[in-house]
């Protein structure tokens, strides 16, 4: 089975017969909209995913059969080519960040509503949408790297930036770590964990 990662966007040819979907999910939406891989245990041969609709309260956790996946778009693929998006501060911020984050050498990409909109073309972005990003960082940054990342994050002023650090063992909010908190909440496939060492959780 292909090893998909959290934040990957998947299109499926069919849903399991035992899937209990909310009323706002219709066949037409499922045909157009990808699902996002989430951090959670899943049954053998299945992938834990999340569905989203057109509004913030339309979210649903589910599983799909791995064999039903037709297509996968990763955050890194979306970061490789960011299209123009008139009158959208969130996409403007993404264009601003792209050369800065590319220069760090870390793999990264948009997630959340921005990633969903870029991958699907569906109208889910609003004027107040956050910019959600994931940054793949398999080891702690050194002092120079940490300072550079702090400056990059501080340069975003026209929208709210939610940066998640993916260590390989899990993901945590950059803002918590940058604030110097003694422990951060690391989201793993087996549940959340408060840890002082997100790169080597115990």
pLDDT tens digit sequence for 118-162: 999 988 888 888 999 999 999 999 999 999 999 999 999 989 999
Please state, in angstroms and rounded to a whole number, the distance separating the CA atoms of residues 201 and 129. 32
**15-44: pLDDT as tens digits:** 877 778 888 888 788 888 999 999 999 989
Q: Where exactly are the structural domains of the chain? A: 8-73, 75-195
Residue 198 has pLDDT above 70, yes or no: yes
Distance CA 96, CA 87 (A): 14
pLDDT at position 158: 86
DSSP state at residue 88: -
Mean pLDDT for 41-68 is 90
| 130 catalytic per annotation | yes
Catalytic residue among 87, 128, 132, 162: 132
- Among residues 23, 65, 87, 130, the one annotated as catalytic is 130
pLDDT at 1: 62
CB atoms within 10 A of CB 181: 13
pLDDT-derived band of residue 114, with 50, 70 and 90 as boundaries?
very high
- Could you tell me which residues come within 8 angstroms of residue 153 by beta carbon, excluding any fewer than 6 positions away? 161, 163, 174, 178
Mean pLDDT of 74-99: 93
Helix/strand/coil for 89: helix
* Mean pLDDT across 169-185: 95
Is the pLDDT confidence value at 51 over 70? yes
Cα gap 162→134, rounded to integer Å: 9
- Tell me, yes or no, if 132 is annotated catalytic: yes
The burial of 60, by beta-carbon neighbours within 10 Å (0-12 exposed, 13-18 middle, 19 or more buried), is given as middle
User: For residue 201, what pLDDT band results from cuts at 50, 70 and 90?
Assistant: confident
Q: What is the pLDDT of residue 11?
A: 94
Place 86 in a pLDDT band, splitting at 50, 70 and 90: confident
């Amino acid at each position: 089975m292909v090893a998909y990662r959290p934040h990957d966007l998947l299109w499926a040819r069919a849903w399991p017969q035992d899937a209990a979907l909310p009323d706002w999910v219709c066949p037409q939406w499922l045909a157009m909209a990808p699902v996002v891989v989430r951090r959670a245990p899943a049954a053998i041969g299945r992938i834990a995913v999340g569905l989203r609709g057109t509004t913030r309260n339309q979210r649903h956790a589910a599983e799909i059969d791995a064999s039903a996946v037709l297509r996968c778009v990763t955050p890194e693929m979306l970061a490789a080519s960011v299209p123009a998006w008139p009158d959208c501060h969130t996409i403007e911020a993404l264009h601003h960040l792209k050369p800065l984050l590319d220069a760090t050498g870390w793999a990264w990409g948009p997630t959340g509503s921005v990633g969903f909109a870029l991958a699907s073309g569906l109208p889910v972005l609003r004027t107040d949408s956050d910019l959600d990003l994931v940054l793949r960082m398999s080891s702690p940054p050194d002092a120079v790297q940490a300072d550079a990342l702090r400056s990059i994050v501080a340069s975003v002023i026209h929208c709210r930036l939610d940066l998640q650090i993916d260590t390989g063992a899990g993901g945590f909010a950059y803002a918590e770590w940058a604030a110097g908190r003694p422990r951060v909440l690391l989201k793993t496939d087996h549940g959340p964990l408060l840890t002082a060492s997100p790169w080597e959780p115990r």
